[in-house]
Amino acid sequence: MIVNRHQWKQLRECCLNDSTFAQLQGILNLKLSPYELETSSLKTWEDLQDLADNSEDIFVEYDINLCYVKINLAGAIALGIPPSEIVGKRNQDFFNQQAGEIDKFVDYVLKTGENIRVNQEISLSKGAKIYNSLYTPIKDTNGQVTGVMGVCRDVTHLRQLQDTSNPILIQAQMQSQHYQCLTKIIKKINQCLQLDTLLQTTTLQLQQYLNVDRVGIVQCYGNAESIRGKYIAETVLPEFKSLLNFEITTKELLGFNPAEKNQQALVVSDIYYSGFNPLMFQWMRDYQIRANLGIPLYKKQHLWGFLWVYNHQRRDWKPDEIEFVREIAKYLETAIEQRELGQAISQELEQRKTLTRVISRIRETLNLDQLFQATVTEVRQLLNADRVGVFYFNPNSGYGEGEFISEDVVAGFGSALAQKVEDHCFSDQFYNLYQQGKINAIPDIYQANLQDCHRQILAQFQIRANLVVPLLKGQKLWGLLCIHQCKYPRYWQQSEIEFVTEIAKNLEVALRQINYMEQVQEQAKKVAQLTERQKSSEQQELLYQVIEKIRNSLDISTIFNTTAAEVRAFLNADRVVVYRFSSDWSGYFVAESVTEGWNSLFDTVPMIQDSYLQETLGGRYRDNQTYAVDDIYTAGHNPCHIKLLEQLQARSYIIVPILQGQSLWGLLAAYQNSYPRHWEDEEIKLLAQIGTQFGVALLQAELYAGTQKKAEELAQDLQQTQSQLVQSEKMSSLGQLVAGVAHEINNPVNFIYGNLSYVTDYTRDLLELVKLYQKQYPDISEEIENKMEDIEFDFIIEDLPKILSSMKVGADRIRQLVLSLRNFSRLDESEVKAVDIHEGIDSTLLILQHRLKSKPDRPTIEVIKKYGKLPKVECYAAQLNQVFMNIISNAIDELESLSKESLDTRYLAISIQTQLVPPSQEQPIERVRIIIQDNGHGIPEPVKNRVFDPFFTTKPAGKGTGLGLSISYQIVVEKHQGMIECQALPEEGTEFIVEIPVHQIG
C-alpha cells in the first residue's frame, strides 16, 4: 500500500513503538509515495499542470466565491461529469448536504491563508469514497489570497483495512486531526498578550473552525442574587446584528443558573424544542439564533462568564465539536486568569508611575488647573473610565451647589465642565460621609440606595457607575475627585479604590501648598477681567451682503463690504477690512471679508485705540502714504504694536488711506494671517488706487444718503400728518354715529322691554280666566264654538306665550347690541380709564358678527377665544377697540379671499388669545398681550415689512385705504407706549401681537 508522508506519520503515531510500527508495515505492505505533494509555494494552476494531468489524485481549483475554476480529468471521472459542466459551479450543485463540510475547509483556507489537511468521506456516483485532502491557498504578488488549490487522494482502501484490522487506528487518526486543530488555535491564543485581543482571537478561530454564524464571550459581574453580564468579545458574520457590549440585566437571559456550581455545557440544536423561558426565547429570535452551544467559564471556582457558539439554522452539534469547544473553554479559563493577573501587575506598576508623576508635578508647578487636568487625564486612561473630573463646591451654597473645574471624558459623552450643579439633597445624604474622608463606590446608580433628586443629577451627566473620593482643604470639604462609568455598570476593584484614594491624598497636599496662591491668582484674574471689559464694547454685525460691482449701489455699507470682498479675492489674502476713524482718532471696523477659519474682528476687536495714530492725528496716512509689512516680527515694531497686530491675527499687511476730499476718513487694509508675505509693488499700487476710487464713491454715496434721508423724513411727516387727520375724523364720526344709533335704538327698546313683563302677566291672567270659564260653563253656544274654530283658539293658547317669550329674547338681544355699540364708541371715555380688554374684544366681535356667519360662497368663520386672566387695563378704550376692529376685519377679508380661490370647503378660523406678561428687566411694568391669528395664506416677507406704512395696502383699488394698520400702530405705540408686530406663519396664516402696559405712565 502506497501512502503519502502525512498518512505515514499518522500510522506511526498510532503505534506504541518502532517494533510495532514495523509489524504494521509488514501486515499492510506500507510504502512511502515516491513523490510527496508540496504545494505551499503554489501561485497558479500551471504550477501543477503536468502532475494533475498524469495523476490519479483529484486536483481542483476554487475561487474566492467557492466556485470551481478548474478540475483535472481524474476529478471529472470521479464525479462522472465532464469538466466543462463542473467549472463555474459550487459543491452544493453536486454533493447536497456534504457540500457544507467541504466548503467549511475551503472557506477556512480563504480566511486564514493557511494549509489544512483533512480526511473526508464523499458520496459519488460510484459509491462513498474516503479522500485525504490537502487544501492550499493561492496568493497574488501582494500576498492576498485569490483562491484555493485542493488535492484529494483516495484512501478508502486504507480506511477499510484499518476498520478490519485495527479500529483503534481510526480513533487515533481523528484524535490526531482534533489535536492538531486544537494546538493551532491554542498557539494563536498564546500569541495574544492582552486580554481583549486574546478573547477576540478565540471567537474568531472558533467561528472559522466550526463555520458558525457567531461566537461570543460574556463576562459576568455582580453577586449571585443580582448577577449581570456583558458581551465583551464577538465574531459575527456581517449579515447579523452584533451583540458586542450588549448588557444582560436579568437572570432569564443568562442561559445558565448562576447558583449552580460546576455546570456542564448547554447544547441546543433547535430553540423551538429547548424549553427556554419566553424572554430568552424571544431574545434569541430577535438575534436570529436557532441553535446554540454554551460553556461556562470559571476563575478560581467562581463563575467568570460564558463562551457561546450560535447558529441561525438548526444544527445537531457533534460530540467532537462539543468536546472541542469544551477544551478551548478549559484552556481559556487558564489564559484569562494569567492575562488578568498580568494586567493587575501592569496596572499596579502604572498606578505607581502615575502617583510618582503626580507627586513630581505637585513639586514642580503651582498651577492648580494644569495639575488637575494632567491628573484626571492620566487617571481616566489608567482606569479605562468614561469620565474623570474634579468637582469644586461653591463655598456659599452649603454644599448644595458646585461645578466641575477639570475633566477628561471619552468622546461620545457630554462634557460636565461649566455646568452648574445644584444638588440640595447632597448635604443630607453624603456631606457627613465625605467630610469624614470616606469613599463612595456605586456600581450602579439604579440599584443603589440614592435619593431620587441625587439620582436625577447623576443621570443628567449620563453616569451609570460612580466612584467618589473627597478632597479636603485643611479640615473642610473642598471638592470631590469623581470617576464615572457611563456606558454600563461597573464593580470597582479594591485596588482601584486604593489607587484613587492615594491620588486624592496627593491632590489635597497640592491644595494646601497652593492655598496661599489663590488670593493672588484671584486678584490677578479680577485685574485681567477689568482690562478685558475696558477693551470690549458691543459687537457690530455685518448687515448687508456683497454685490458684484462697487458702483452698482450708492449705499455706504454695501460699498464697504463689496470693496473688502473683491480686494481679498483678487489679492488672495486672508482678510481685508475697512477701518473708520473716530473724532479722537481711535477707530473701529465697518466692513470685513475674511477666509473661513479666522475670527471676525467685529467680534474680537470692536474698538482700537492706537496711541501712534491718536498722537499724530492719523500719522503717515494723513499725508496719503501707504505702508506694507512683510513680517510683523522683523519690521521693528514696538511691543505694544505687535501685541495689537497679534490680536488682529495678522502676520503681514498692507494699509492705504481713504481720503474724503482732503480729510483722512479711514484705512483700507489687507492682511495675511498664516505666514509672512512679500507684497509686490503692483499689489500695493492696486490697493492704493482702489482706496482713491473708494473715497470718490464715498462722497457720492454720502451725498445721496443725506438727500434720500431728508426726502424720507419729509414724506414720513406728510403721511403721518395725513393719517392722523383721517384717524381723528374717522374716530370722531364713527363714535358719534355709533353713539347716536345706540341712543335712538335704546329708547324704544327700553319701552318694549319694560312693558313685556306686564303683557306677559296680563296674557297669562286672561288665559287662566278663559280656562276657568270653560270649566264652569262647559256647554257653549254653537256661534262661540264656530268662532273658536275659525280663530284656532287652542293654537292661540299654546302659541301666545311662546310669542311673548320670543319677543323678550329679541329685546334682550337688541339691548346687548346697544350696550356693545356704546362700549365700542365710549364717547364718555375719551380719557385714559381702566377697562376690561375682553369686553372691548367681545363688542368688536358682536359688531362683526354678520361677517363671521356662513355665506353661499364660504362656510362660517369660527372664532376661537383663549382668554387669560387679565386685570383692568388703563387705556383709550375707543381707540383700542378700533385697533381690534382693523386687525379682525383684515383677517376676515383674508379668509374670504382664501375661500373664493378654492372650490373645496376649507376650515376658516380666527384665534384670539390674551396673556398677562409679568415685569422684566427690559419692561418693568406688567403688560397685556393680545394675539390675533388667522389660518389664511400668510403674509410674504416683503409685504410684512411694510404693513404698518401709511397708505400701503394689498387690497384691490377702492376696497382699502392703507391707513388701518398705520393708525393702529400709532394708537398702540405712540398713544399707549406699547408694541404691535406682525408675524408670518408659513402655511399657517398671519399673526398680530399687540402689547400695552397695564398702567400708563405720565
DSSP state string for 42-66:
--SGGGGHHHHHT-SSEEEEEETTS
Query: What confidence score (pLDDT) does residue 610 get?
Result: 83
Query: What confidence score (pLDDT) does residue 863 get?
Result: 93
Average pLDDT score, the chain: 80
DSSP single-letter state for residue 46 = G
Mean pLDDT check: name the lowest of 297-311, 516-530, 629-643.
516-530
Name the pLDDT band for 532 (thresholds 50, 70, 90). very low
- 481 - beta bridge partners? 390, 469
Q: Length of the chain in residues, anyone?
A: 1002
Mean pLDDT check: name the lowest of 2-6, 689-693, 908-912.
2-6
Mean pLDDT of 237-246: 93
Asked if 719 contacts 951 with a C-beta cutoff of 8 angstroms, the reply is yes
Name the pLDDT band for 214 (thresholds 50, 70, 90). very high
* pLDDT of 549 above 60: no
Query: What confidence score (pLDDT) does residue 171 get?
Result: 53
Where do the domains of the chain lie? 29-161, 192-345, 366-520, 553-679, 711-814, 831-997
Neighbour tally for 844: CB within 10 Å = 24
Mean pLDDT check: name the lowest of 518-532, 555-569, 689-703.
518-532
DSSP single-letter state for residue 539 = P
* pLDDT of 12 above 70: no
Query: What confidence score (pLDDT) does residue 538 get?
Result: 32
For the chain, give the percent of residues with pLDDT over 70. Answer: 79
Name the pLDDT band for 742 (thresholds 50, 70, 90). low
Query: What confidence score (pLDDT) does residue 818 get?
Result: 64
Highest CATH level, class, for 553-679: alpha beta
List Cβ neighbours of 343 (8 Å cut-off, separation of 6 or more): 194, 195
Q: What is the pLDDT of residues 149-181, one digit of tens each?
A: 998 888 776 665 555 445 544 455 555 566 677
Name the pLDDT band for 120 (thresholds 50, 70, 90). confident
Q: Where are the alpha helices (DSSP H) in 853-959?
A: 877-901, 941-944
Burial tier of 164 (Cβ tally within 10 Å: 0-12, 13-18, 19+): exposed
783/696: higher pLDDT: 783
Evaluated on CA atoms 417, 420, 426, 427, the torsion sign reads positive
Q: Do domains 192-345 and 831-997 have the same CATH topology?
A: no
648/15: higher pLDDT: 648
Could you tell me which of 853, 918, 848 has the C-alpha nearest to residue 881? 848
Q: What is the pLDDT of residues 280-299, one digit of tens each?
A: 999 999 999 999 999 999 88
Mean pLDDT of 873-883: 86
Query: What confidence score (pLDDT) does residue 548 get?
Result: 46
* pLDDT of 738 above 80: no
Amino acid at 978: G
| Alpha-carbon distances, residue 51 vs 71, 78, 951 (angstroms) | 12, 17, 103
Name the pLDDT band for 388 (thresholds 50, 70, 90). very high
* pLDDT of 613 above 80: yes
Going edge to edge, which strands form the sheet with 587-594?
587-594, 575-581, 663-672, 652-660, 627-629
* pLDDT of 29 above 60: no
Query: What confidence score (pLDDT) does residue 353 get?
Result: 75
Mean pLDDT of 810-818: 67
Strands (E), 410-475: 421-422, 440-442, 465-473
Query: What confidence score (pLDDT) does residue 482 get?
Result: 92
For 225, half-sphere exposure in the C-beta direction (CA atoms, 13 angstrom radius) is: 1
Q: Of the segments 339-343, 718-722, 778-782, 820-824, which one has the largest average pLDDT value?
A: 778-782
| Alpha-carbon distances, residue 2 vs 17, 36, 57, 817 (angstroms) | 21, 11, 13, 122
Could you tell me which of 930, 946, 931, 949 has the C-alpha nearest to residue 990? 931
Using alpha carbons only, how large is the chain's radius of gyration in Å? 48
Query: What confidence score (pLDDT) does residue 35 get?
Result: 41
Name the pLDDT band for 60 (thresholds 50, 70, 90). very high
**β-pair type (979-985, 127-139):** unpaired
* pLDDT of 957 above 60: no
Mean pLDDT check: name the lowest of 254-258, 350-354, 905-909.
350-354
Mean pLDDT of 626-648: 89
742/577: higher pLDDT: 577
Mean pLDDT of 779-804: 82
Q: What is the pLDDT of residues 400-457, one digit of tens each?
A: 788 898 999 998 888 888 778 887 777 667 777 888 888 889 888 888 888 888 888 8
For the chain, give the percent of residues with pLDDT over 90. Answer: 20
SS3 for 405? strand
For domain 192-345, give the CATH superfamily. Answer: GAF domain (3.30.450.40)
Query: What confidence score (pLDDT) does residue 220 get?
Result: 87
Q: What is the pTM of this model?
A: 0.34
Kindly state the cell numbers that stand for 577.
Answer: 477690512
Kindly state the cell numbers that stand for 62.
Answer: 476554487
The CA angle 700-703-709, to the nearest 5 degrees, is 135
Query: What confidence score (pLDDT) does residue 744 get?
Result: 66
* pLDDT of 40 above 60: no
Query: What confidence score (pLDDT) does residue 701 get?
Result: 66
Q: In angstroms, rounded to a whole number, what is the distance separating the alpha carbons of residues 820 and 746?
A: 12
Q: Of the segments 32-36, 351-355, 680-684, which one has the largest average pLDDT value?
A: 680-684
Q: Of the segments 152-161, 211-220, 882-891, which one has the largest average pLDDT value?
A: 211-220
**Architecture of domain 366-520 in this structure:** 2-Layer Sandwich (3.30)
Mean pLDDT of 306-327: 91
Mean pLDDT check: name the lowest of 97-101, 702-706, 994-998.
702-706
Query: What confidence score (pLDDT) does residue 546 get?
Result: 32
Q: Of the segments 328-332, 333-337, 861-865, which one has the largest average pLDDT value?
A: 861-865
Mean pLDDT of 202-226: 88
508/24: higher pLDDT: 508
Q: In angstroms, rounded to a whole number, what is the distance separating the alpha carbons of residues 429 and 709?
A: 69
DSSP single-letter state for residue 704 = H
* pLDDT of 705 above 70: no
Burial tier of 298 (Cβ tally within 10 Å: 0-12, 13-18, 19+): middle
For domain 29-161, give the CATH superfamily. Answer: PAS domain (3.30.450.20)
Neighbour tally for 9: CB within 10 Å = 12
Query: What confidence score (pLDDT) does residue 416 get?
Result: 87
Name the pLDDT band for 77 (thresholds 50, 70, 90). confident
Query: What confidence score (pLDDT) does residue 864 get?
Result: 94
Mean pLDDT check: name the lowest of 95-104, 466-475, 707-716, 865-874.
707-716
483/128: higher pLDDT: 483
Burial tier of 218 (Cβ tally within 10 Å: 0-12, 13-18, 19+): buried
Q: In angstroms, rounded to a whole number, what is the distance separating the alpha carbons of residues 601 and 594?
A: 9
**β-pair type (31-32, 2-3):** parallel
Name the pLDDT band for 654 (thresholds 50, 70, 90). very high
Domain 831-997: assigned CATH number:
3.30.565.10
